């Protein structure tokens, strides 16, 4: 009998991996495959995600070896690689967990047709979400366009499945990839050379083991009080699970059940667990929306935004990217992103609002920067989040809701702990000046006559007024 093929994608784990679990059932021989997919139709991963992927795939390979398996790592065009394996008669049945980003889902359908032509059975599973994006529908059977009804529908639907254990034993198939016909990379699937990536290892440890350690730390130290403290960027007030969920080193089902256990055993107050579950469902909703409306990857839901005269000033965009805007909270968030590959959720909203509204830059510029610099860069969540903060997406924050970075700073970082961590040149300022350093006396603001921190690159009131006028003009020109 020909061996089963398990194709790992966004599910780099052994536990609660339904495709792997099914492929190993009955002691079948298994080929484990990972492809760093260079198929032209797919959006290629950004630099930070590639860094994460390199380590995560290596950790997966090691975990499979401990169970008796072997991970074959390839780089190239996925349909071509699968076709070569099928043509070589190496594959009996194929197992994978579904992908739902439109381009990846379309690619999977083409590979499914290829397998069907060769009479190779394909088994698909849901391994990345609590519910596939098509499983939750409104009263007419269509997609939800507002989050709250979707959230209620998910809670009514419930989660009946329980996480699967890792296979006790993986029976490795006696098959080796031919390097003449398949681009095999036995050590590293992703060439990573950007110097700034060296800093990421100081903040993160990719892999399934680290994912569960992160979840345990969150449950023990941060879940209690999560609902009231989650908006404050200083300190360990969030789970930091997003990159592990993104790369599938832990499943949302495992997180859900851990929260249920914590809630029922008194490990966390009801409202704290509920609030975090709400965040899990928000992630699901982003996928639900992009699945049903794939054009959102490139287009604003509100097409009047296409008529806004975006300024897209290169020098201001660069100042935003580098954390040199002159607004300490904005700069702290952007430097946290550059140094760690991650940014606190409220900070993502604040820096996004500043770019789109105060600087009047197209939301796609920010989305692209986040895609390259976030270790948790997920296409559905990234696009949905940017359209939400810009005011042009589904159930979005209205455009006239423009975050004032000074007021946000005073409210959510009142003592300046977050600012002092990531903007150390301001650490010496007293609390009353940390949010508005341009008001500081010259002797506090300069170092031997050299300005050590930039003046604000935009007047907040003028920038706000300019943004509102730009949208008003665009709306007046829109015809539906």
Q: Which of 83, 279, 410, 425 is catalytic?
A: 279
Q: Active site includes 279?
A: yes
Task: Give the helix/strand (H/E) hosting 257.
Answer: helix 252-264
- Identify any residues that bridge with 96 across adjacent strands, giving them in sequence order: 124
Catalytic residue among 83, 175, 299, 345: 345
Neighbours of 37 (CB within 10 A): 20
Residue 73 phi, psi dihedral angles, 5° rounding: -110, 125
Q: 37: part of which helix (H) or strand (E)?
A: strand 29-37
Residue 306 contacts residue 475 (beta carbons within 8 Å): no
Selecting among 282, 299, 313, 410, the annotated active-site residue is: 282
To the query of whether residue 52 is one of the catalytic residues in this protein, the response is: no
**Which one of the listed residues 51, 342, 363, 388 is annotated catalytic?**
363
C-alpha span between 230 and 414 (Å, rounded) = 15
Active site residue 363: yes
Tell me whether residue 282 is one of the annotated catalytic residues. yes
83, 278, 299, 310: which one is catalytic? 310
196 is catalytic: no
CB distance 211 to 248 below 8 Å: no
The answer to whether residue 126 is catalytic is no
CA dihedral 353, 359, 364, 366 (to 10 degrees): -60
Q: Bridge-partner residues for 73, per DSSP? A: 34
Burial 167-206 (b: 16+ CB within 10 A, else e): beebbbbebebeeeebbbbeeebbebeeeebeebeeebeb
Burial class (CB in 10 A: 0-12, 13-18, 19+), 455: exposed
Residue 131 belongs to what H/E stretch?
none
Q: Please identify every residue annotated as catalytic.
A: 279, 282, 310, 345, 363, 386
């Amino acid at each position: 009998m020909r061996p089963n093929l398990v194709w790992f994608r966004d599910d780099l784990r052994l536990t609660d991996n339904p495709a792997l679990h099914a492929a190993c059932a009955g002691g079948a021989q298994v080929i484990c495959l990972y492809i760093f997919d260079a198929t032209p139709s797919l959006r290629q991963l950004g630099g930070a995600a590639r860094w994460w992927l390199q380590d995560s795939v290596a950790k997966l390979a090691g975990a499979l070896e401990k169970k008796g398996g072997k991970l074959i790592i390839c780089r190239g065009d996925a349909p071509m690689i699968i076709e070569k394996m099928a043509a070589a008669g190496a594959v009996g049945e194929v197992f994978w967990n579904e992908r739902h980003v439109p381009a990846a889902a379309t690619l999977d359908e083409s590979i499914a047709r290829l397998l069907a032509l060769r009479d190779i059975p394909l088994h698909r599973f849901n391994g990345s979400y609590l519910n596939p994006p098509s499983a939750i529908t409104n009263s007419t059977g269509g997609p939800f366009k507002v989050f709250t009804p979707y959230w209620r529908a998910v809670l009514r639907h419930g989660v009946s499945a329980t996480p699967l254990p890792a296979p006790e034993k993986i029976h490795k198939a006696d098959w080796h990839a031919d390097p003449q016909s398949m681009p095999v990379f036995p050590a590293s699937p992703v060439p990573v050379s950007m110097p700034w990536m060296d800093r990421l290892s100081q903040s993160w440890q990719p892999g399934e083991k680290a994912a569960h350690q992160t979840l345990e730390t969150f449950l023990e130290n941060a879940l209690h009080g999560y609902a009231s403290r989650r908006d404050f960027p200083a300190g360990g007030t969030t789970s930091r699970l997003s990159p592990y969920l993104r790369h599938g080193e832990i499943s949302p089902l495992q997180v859900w059940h851990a929260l249920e256990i914590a809630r029922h055993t008194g490990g966390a107050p009801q409202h704290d667990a509920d609030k975090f579950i709400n965040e899990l469902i928000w992630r699901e909703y982003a996928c639900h929306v992009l699945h049903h409306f794939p054009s959102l990857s490139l287009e604003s839901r509100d097409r009047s935004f296409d008529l806004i005269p975006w300024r897209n000033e290169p020098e201001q965009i660069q100042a935003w990217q580098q954390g040199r805007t002159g607004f300490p909270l904005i700069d702290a968030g952007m430097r946290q992103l550059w140094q760690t590959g991650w940014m606190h959720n409220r900070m993502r909203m604040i820096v996004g609002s500043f770019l789109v509204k105060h600087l009047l830059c197209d939301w796609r510029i920010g989305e692209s920067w986040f895609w390259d610099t976030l270790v948790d860069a997920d296409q559905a969540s990234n696009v949905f989040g940017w359209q939400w903060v810009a005011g042009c997406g589904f159930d979005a924050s209205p455009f006239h809701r423009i975050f004032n970075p000074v007021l946000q700073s005073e409210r959510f970082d009142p003592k300046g702990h977050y600012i002092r961590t990531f903007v150390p040149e301001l650490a010496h300022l007293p609390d009353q000046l940390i949010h508005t350093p341009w008001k500081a006396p010259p002797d506090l603001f300069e170092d031997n006559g050299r300005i050590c921190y930039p003046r604000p690159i935009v007047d907040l009131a003028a920038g706000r007024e300019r943004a509102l006028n730009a949208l008003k003009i665009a709306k007046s020109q829109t015809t539906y």
